[in-house]
A and B are shown apart, each in its own frame.
Chain A
Amino acid sequence: EDKVVQSPLSLVVHEGDTVTLNCSYEVTNFRSLLWYKQEKKAPTFLFMLTSSGIEKKSGRLSSILDKKELFSILNITATQTGDSAVYLCAAGTYKYIFGTGTRLKVLA
């Protein structure tokens, strides 16, 4: 059965901390892994990863994929209260299997 597992389930940090969110996957058909940030409404797209070992960066966020070990990490450096959200990862091809998310809370 295809599955995507995220860890930790939730995380509380203080502003300025660095966090690492984990996503492991086992899917029959894999082409890419997606990361999303979800606040109170629709998930917003962060990254799409298709190749192992190539880091993608956007400001304080970065992500990398390991296709041999079947996992990805999302790093957030110098966290801010605005980073508080649920972070989702998804793996697949044109159809994706989503994890249940990591709930991040950043305290001022």
Chain B
Amino acid sequence: DVKVTQSSRYLVKRTGEKVFLECVQDMDHENMFWYRQDPGLGLRLIYFSYDVKMKEKGDIPEGYSVSREKKERFSLILESASTNQTSMYLCASSLGVAGGVGSYNEQFFGPGTRLTVL
């Protein structure tokens, strides 16, 4: 079974703090994704990575950055947390195609991190 884990289930931070959300997958997947999920807005893609050190902006990248130094780990960074970043953050991974982005495999999700910024 694919396993995607996220470092925290719940996190409370203060405005202006730097926040790191970690995601690890154990199935050698090439593609990894960070989403946020808000009521009435569904899942929105923040960033996507299709290989180590490769990243692509999603629909709402403002205020976020990402890091993928190892294939299994994809980190989401909030440089200076703000209250409008309070949300559920979901990480996902998919198999991908070696050397390219032409994959349409299903995505497997982690349990989510509920972040509250005060």
| Residues in chain A within 8 A of chain B (CB atoms) | 31-32, 34, 36, 41-45, 48, 50, 88, 90, 92-96, 98-101
Give a binary string over B1-15; 1 marks a CB under 8 Å from any A CB, 0 the rest. Answer: 000100000000000
In the complex the two chains form, what is the Cα distance from A93 to B94 in whole Å?
11
A94 contacts B43, C-beta separation under 8 Å? no
Q: B42 an interface residue at 8 Å Cβ cutoff? A: yes
B109 contacts A43, C-beta separation under 8 Å? yes
A88 contacts B109, C-beta separation under 8 Å? no
B42 contacts A94, C-beta separation under 8 Å? no
- The number of residues on chain B lying at the interface, defined by a beta carbon within 8 Å of a beta carbon of chain A, is 29
A42 contacts B104, C-beta separation under 8 Å? no
Residue of B nearest to A41 (CB): B111
- Of B33, B40, B104, which contacts A93 at CB under 8 A? B104
Residue of B nearest to A46 (CB): B106
A94 contacts B108, C-beta separation under 8 Å? no
- Of B42, B56, B107, which contacts A101 at CB under 8 A? B42
Residue of B nearest to A96 (CB): B107
A42 contacts B43, C-beta separation under 8 Å? no
B71, chain A: closest CB distance, angstroms:
16
Interface residues of B in 98-115 (CB under 8 A from A): 101-112
Complex interface: chain B residues within 8 A of A44 (CB): 109
Give a binary string over B23-46; 1 marks a CB under 8 Å from any A CB, 0 the rest. Answer: 000000001010100001111110
- Of A42, A45, A48, which contacts B90 at CB under 8 A? A42
B104 contacts A32, C-beta separation under 8 Å? yes
In the complex the two chains form, what is the Cα distance from A32 to B94 in whole Å?
14
A45 contacts B42, C-beta separation under 8 Å? no
A66, chain B: closest CB distance, angstroms:
18
In the complex the two chains form, what is the Cα distance from A101 to B37 in whole Å?
11
B42 contacts A99, C-beta separation under 8 Å? yes
A37, chain B: closest CB distance, angstroms:
11
